[in-house]
Structure 1
Amino acid sequence: MGKIVTSENVSLDGVVQDPTGEEGFKFGGWFGRMSDADRGAWGALEFQEALAAGALLLGGRSYQYFATGWASRDGEWADRLRSLPKYVVSSTLADPSWVNTTILTGDVLAQVAKLRETADGDVVVYASGQLVQALLEHDLVDELRLVVHPFVLGSGERLFRETSDMKPVRLVDARTIGEGLSLLVYRPIRDA
């Protein structure tokens, strides 16, 4: 049995919108503001996460971003991402370009629950805010990994939105990454 693990970059106030500056958000590009030391430490963390993953689960827009950026890159990290099975939640993607990709349609939540049962290792969800929200709402997230960037944006789309009920979590790891990033790891408390 695998775990569904979300891996997110967020501002201190939880904003996930337009981290690379391609969407026209007034604070877009915030991800690129990290120092070289933070970028190196973040890269090492993310590479280790990719090595430990058994599969990737992505929303349609995040898949397009990753497929465009990683499919033709060189190096061990890119090779690892290419080799992983990738599952994409999309109603518009018909012909995935990135190798080892399966499109999930229909009852996606049931398919994700089945994927969790059959996966060999962690199924890591990168970005994909709308998908993460749906997985949280339906108690399909087993671990939340948040890399918190040290600034407040004050506006923008946040990772955590309205839910039907409180979602209690337990902090299982907290550490500094590089000079100014924080890694916070939470696990849901299912019997609260």
Structure 2
Amino acid sequence: MRKIIVTEFMTLDGVVEAPGGNETVHPNGGWQHEYGAPDTGKYKVDELGSVGALLLGRKTYDLFAGYWPGQAGSAFGDQMNQLPKYVVSASLEKADWNNSIILKDVVNEVAELKTTSGGDILVYGSATLVKSLLQNDLVDELRLMIFPVSIGGGLRLFDDDLKLKKFKLKHSQVFESGVVVLEYLTIDLNS
């Protein structure tokens, strides 16, 4: 059975949006740029190389599809372009990026996708999709790359829905920049 692995850039105050500065309107956009370093880059390359597919929400898909096809020739760009990409969207009718497949039903189609062969599935960003995956117990692993910055507000993964979720620390790593990676396995509260 394939695992759904969520990977997020997150601030100390729990914000997951606008790391690049132009994804959303935010006065503190671009917060991630000053923490770029070879060790964090290697972590992301290794992470991508360990999976068999990507699962993306429509907004993240649109951003990625507008950028990564023009990045052929780099190991990361070639991998992004080659991997199968599943985009969850009720409104998207056509997905032109190489190896892209549209899923309309996040719960049933993602649950079915997990039963297929082909390696684990990595979810980049896609906060709205991730919220739905978490609410429906479809996330197997959560990887948070915590940046030592607080930006004072924005989109967060965990809403005040008062639903208990438990996680078990699988791995942690501190980079020279002060960025911390926390990898958690989800705990099934029904077993």
Tell me the SS of whatever aligns to 1:91. coil
Structure 1, residues 26-51: CA drift from partner, whole Å, max 9, x if none? 111111121xxx43222111111111
Provide runs of 4+ in structure 1 moved above 4 Å. Answer: none
Give 1:93 deviation, angstroms. Answer: 2.1
Conserved 8 A contact 1:137-1:163: no
Tell me by how many angstroms 1:164 deviates. Answer: 5.1
* Aligned equivalent of 1:4: 4
Paired with 1:71 and 1:49, the residues of 2 have a C-alpha distance of: 19
Distance 1:17 1:79 in 2: 25
Instruction: Look up the equivalent residue of 1:159 and give its one-letter code.
Output: L
* 2:31 corresponds to 1:30: yes
CA distance in 2, matches of 1:161, 1:144: 16
- Equivalent AA in structure 2 for residue 4 of structure 1: I
Secondary structure at 1:102 match in 2? strand
Aligned to 1:173: 171
What is the CA distance between 1:159 and its match in structure 2? Answer: 1.9
Q: Show CA shifts across 1:5-39 (max 9, x none).
A: 001000011101211111221111111121xxx43
* C-alpha displacement of 1:68: 1.3
TM-score by length of 1: 0.93
Per-residue displacement from partner, 1:94-114 (whole Å, max 9, x unpaired)? 221210000001x32110001
Alignment of 1:1-192 (within 5 A): 1-22=1-22, 23-34=24-35, 38-73=36-71, 74-105=73-104, 107-163=105-161, 165-191=163-189
What is the CA distance between 1:154 and its match in structure 2?
Answer: 2.2
User: Is the partner of 2:37 in helix, strand or coil?
Assistant: helix
Residue range with higher mean Cα deviation, 151-160 or 107-116: 151-160
- Higher mean alpha-carbon deviation, 57-66 vs 69-78, is at 69-78
Structure 2 gap segments, 5+ residues each: none
Where does structure 1 lack aligned partners over 5 or more consecutive residues?
A: none
Residues 59 and 88 in structure 1, CA contact (< 8 A), matched pair in contact too:
yes
CA distance in 2, matches of 1:116, 1:164: 27
What code does the residue aligned with 1:58 have?
Answer: L
> Partners in 2 of 1:50 and 1:103 — Cα distance?
21
Q: Using the alignment, how far apart are the partners of 1:168 and 1:156 within structure 2?
A: 24
The 3-state SS of whatever aligns with 2:139 is: coil
Give the match's secondary structure for 1:98.
coil
Cα distance in 2 for residues equivalent to 1:2 and 1:120: 7
Whether the aligned pair in 2 keeps the contact of 1:42 and 1:178 (CA below 8 Å) is no
In structure 2, C-alpha distance between the alignment counterparts of 1:93 and 1:191, rounded to whole Å = 34
Using the TM superposition, give the Cα deviation of residue 165 of structure 1 relative to its aligned residue in structure 2, in angstroms.
1.4
CA–CA separation in structure 2 for the residues paired with 1:146 and 1:28? 18
CA deviation string 1:45-74 (max 9, x = no partner): 111111111100000000011111211102
